Amino acid sequence: MDSLYEELQLVRECLELTVSDKNLGAINKWEKVINQFTKNQILNLFRIISFVLSIPSSNCFVERIFSQMSLKWTDIRNRSSVDLIRSELLIMFNFEFNCQEFYNYVKTNKEILRTVESTSKYSFKTK
């Protein structure tokens, strides 16, 4: 706790100057403060700031996922398993490839091709 207090005293002046800047948002203000010091100088403060700023300010992303899930589970596809819908959503939100890029990626990745051709479960998932 003493080290956190010392870190706060170290950044106090810089923090006061940055807070008074009305043109910057909260993230930019903290970025400006953190860039004035090395990470080791304000390690505890950096951890706290990183944790707090990683909390989403809205639930918009979660609502978007539920919306996409309901679009995938239509009357025509009502027998789809939870795993199938989950897999489709994971691909949809985590891959930034278009169809051609994904095709080229899979075609050049020998491990994925070997795994797809085999009858066993995907081994690269455990790595």
Work out how many domains the chain is built from and give that number.
2
CA-CA-CA-CA dihedral for 23, 29, 33, 38, to nearest 10: -130
Return the pLDDT at 121. 63
Low-confidence ranges of the chain (pLDDT < 70): 121-127
Is the overall model pTM greater than 0.75, yes or no?
no
Look at the alpha carbons of 98, 126, 67, 74 in this order and tell me if their dihedral is positive or negative: positive
Looking at the structure, tell me whether residues 14 and 49 fall in a common domain.
yes
39/18 same-domain check? yes
Domain boundaries, position 112: 60-126
Neighbours of 33 (CB within 10 A): 19
The confidence score (pLDDT) of residue 125 equals 57
Based on the fold, state whether residues 47 and 31 are members of the same structural domain: yes
